[in-house]
Amino acid sequence: MRRRTSSVSGPATGGSPLRSRSFLLLLVATFLSVGNYATLLSVVPLWAAEGGSDGTGVGATTGVMMGATVASQLCMGWLFRVLSLRNLFAIGAALMGIATPAYLMSNALGPVLAVSAVRGVGFGMVVVAGSALTADLIPARLIGKGVGLYGLSTGLPSVLCLPLGVWVAQEVGFAPVFWAMTAFTLAAVPTVLGVRGGGTPDDQPSETNTSGRLAPLAPGFVLMIGVSIGLGGLSTFLPLAIGHPLTASTALLAMSIGVNVGRLGVGAISDTIGPGRMVLPAVLSGAVGMAGIAVLAGSGPQAVAPVAAFAYGVGFGAVQNETLVVMLNRAGPKGRGLASTVWNMAYDGGAGVGAVLLGAVVALASHEAAFIVSAVLIAATAPVAWWDSRRT
């Protein structure tokens, strides 16, 4: 894709679409909903560990949620035909909010996995609808900045809530965290229902050219899988690998800040230099950061872990923005639902695979070995990043 106007369409508005009421409501609803996901990403594994789960079981808490997320995303072709995007978002947020207090019933692995699965279904609906709504509300000339702002609304909860949730759970208790996230997510329902626009996408998955529509999205899918594996491993095992709550929370905060820096930084320039140009250095930043975390989780000074976590976060955030914009452009205005679904499946599937795979490595070897495996897997996607950037 050469430097040109994106094929993604958006509504015409009198003022800047980036400041429209509907887009701002979408950003707020996204922040509230993703706050549930981000906060509990590390808290639920801690809850399961407190209940006696080993490394494999702890990893499964994230893996099952992400698996359910991907499973719900596989149903998006049907859901797009019967629900508007804003209603799909609202139902997903409601599922997440209603399920969250059920964690307090038991910290045994079975009940924790069951609740995580329900939350995963809701989360899958929220993120696919949110990405597609962004493409629907923002015109082509501003899609890079629009995706960057949407990325900020998904990334800020990690900055504010992920480290805070870990600290509160370990120092105060789990119940306040679960109840606060219930209120957060349920507040997103009336918020997103105020969005105007975002009808049913024009995707028709039953068409015979589905494989042809998926092929241009494959490189972005592979890249997102690779970097997301690291997210599943870090969010699940970093608080356990670094025993000191404050250090672990600081490292998670640094990672989250890095994600937002990466997404906003790339989003600000992709409309000018063309999307996809920064994906290779972003992948390398993610791999180097993860390798640094592996060293620090072993014999290195753990107090420096936030620096490595920040480097991983910058790379991860930049890859997110680059791949989503490229995939939306390649899918075209009638394929925004498909592109959003494929991108989110890679993100969530990678996080789930990372948690389960690295959980098995932790059980067989160590946290250090798990982070080394993650760094290698991220670095393995560098040839794809190089090849695909030459096509853009």
pLDDT at 210: 56
pLDDT at 1: 32
CA distance 27 to 371: 32
229, burial (CB in 10 Å: exposed 0-12, middle 13-18, buried 19+): buried
pLDDT at 3: 30
pTM (2 decimals)? 0.72
Tokens of 146: 């629009």
pLDDT at 264: 79
pLDDT at 44: 94
> pLDDT tens track of the chain, all 392 residues?
323 333 334 444 446 777 788 889 999 999 999 999 989 988 999 999 999 888 788 888 888 998 898 888 888 778 878 888 889 999 999 999 999 999 999 999 999 999 999 999 999 899 888 888 887 887 767 777 777 788 788 878 877 787 788 889 988 999 999 999 999 999 999 999 988 865 555 544 444 455 567 788 899 999 999 999 988 888 778 877 776 777 777 888 888 889 888 887 776 676 667 677 888 999 999 999 999 888 876 666 666 788 999 999 999 999 998 898 888 888 877 777 788 788 888 888 888 888 888 888 888 888 888 899 999 999 999 999 998 877 66
CA terminus-to-terminus distance, the chain: 4
Instruction: List the one residue out of 51, 55, 41 whose CA is nearest residue 177.
Output: 41
Phi-psi region of 130 (alpha: psi -120 to 50; beta: other; left: phi over 0): alpha
Q: Which amino acid is at 114?
A: A
Domain residue ranges of the chain, discontinuous segments joined by + = 19-198+209-391
- Residue corresponding to tokens 């620090």: 296
Instruction: Give the per-residue SS3 of 33-81.
Output: HHHHHHHHHHHHHHHHHHCCCCHHHHHHHHHHHHHHHHHHHCCHHHHHH
Sign of dihedral through CA atoms 321, 324, 328, 331?
positive
CA distance 295 to 151: 29
- Options 1.20.1250.20, 3.10.180.10, 2.40.70.10, 3.40.50.720; CATH of 19-198+209-391: 1.20.1250.20
pLDDT at 207: 43
CA distance 336 to 131: 8
pLDDT at 299: 64
Instruction: List the one residue out of 190, 216, 199 whose CA is nearest residue 135.
Output: 199
CA distance 293 to 255: 11
Instruction: List the one residue out of 139, 188, 166, 154 whose CA is nearest residue 13.
Output: 139
